[in-house]
Amino acid sequence: MFNDLSRMGKYLGQAARMLVGMPDYDNYVEHMANKHPDTPPMTYEEFFRERQEARYGGGKGRPIRCC
């Protein structure tokens, strides 16, 4: 029972972070290890910056936007 509650809490927390735009670094690292083992994962700072630029713009020649 506690395993199910723990798992549900993990998924609810992940969904809440996605709703407010906070990326899940742990899932990214796990994905990289499973699907791209030959490529080193970004550091947390690099990952956060990349997700921030993807969400708000301002990276790779795109204009900065507020909304």
pLDDT of residue 50: 87
pLDDT of residue 60: 59
The per-residue pLDDT for range 8-64, each reduced to its tens digit, is 887 787 777 767 666 688 888 999 999 999 999 999 999 988 888 877 776 556 555
pLDDT of residue 38: 96
Measured in whole angstroms, the distance separating CA 7 from the mean position of its chain's CA atoms is 18
Task: Give 35-40 contacts, CB < 8 A, sequence gap 24+.
Answer: none
Higher-pLDDT residue of 65 and 6 is: 6
pLDDT of residue 32: 94
pLDDT of residue 40: 96
Return the residue matching tokens 């549900």: 8
